[in-house]
Chains A and B, each alone.
Chain A
């Protein structure tokens, strides 16, 4: 899986660490790290929680444009 740089940039824009987001959504820091690195595919429930914390939409954080 590709890295989720949108999540990383949105997090940096809000000046939040992985730990801050993890505590806000109730998961471990390692889970957020795995999502950012593309090692874990989160559920839609977790995606929504992350988007709410970051104040962004699902499209802005998790939608991947086709390069074809």
Chain B
């Protein structure tokens, strides 16, 4: 059997992941440069920290979706198991935990001082949600293709 490295991916998976990672890095660089250029021309599409975060999250989502689509996310050993139930449980637990934390800390004073006119959090949330949905769709399509 081929000896695998610590993350367990086979050689083609590693090659694909490296390729996609390099392309994603270049995409981040170009988008950040474009953002700087737009800023120089006076176009402010989002406030400062959020625009960088949105670019990074979008590129990370693209990277994640592509490595899942190219079957380079999980190593060969893990693909034999069916972690769907565990994955669903973890997601449900994370959502419940997030709601509980938001309900508990949401009433504290330091969070109420945040400027509510800024819609950055909503934008970040929507971008993350879209990324998750894309990753889920890609996973489902890939699973159907492998049948």
Binding site for B on A (CB under 8 A): 22-31, 34, 40, 42-43, 45-46, 49
Contact = CB atoms under 8 A, between A and B. Distances in A.
Nearest to A43: B11
B2 A40 contact: no
Contacts of B79: 28
Contacts of A43: 11
A20 B13 CA distance: 18
B71 interface: yes
A31 B4 contact: no
Interface of B: 1-4, 10-13, 15, 71, 76-77, 79-80, 146
Contacts of B10: 26-28, 31, 46
A49 B1 contact: yes
20 contacts: A23-B76, A23-B80, A25-B1, A26-B2, A26-B3, A26-B4, A27-B11, A27-B76, A28-B13, A28-B71, A28-B79, A29-B146, A31-B12, A31-B13, A34-B12, A40-B15, A42-B11, A42-B12, A46-B2, A49-B2
Contact of A25 (B2, B71, B146): B2
- Which of B1, B3, B71, B80 has the most C-beta atoms of chain A within 10 angstroms of its own C-beta? B1
Nearest to B75: A28
Q: Which 3 A-B pairs have the closest CB atoms?
A: A27-B10, A26-B1, A26-B2
A28 B2 contact: no
Contacts of A42: 11-12
A30 B2 contact: no
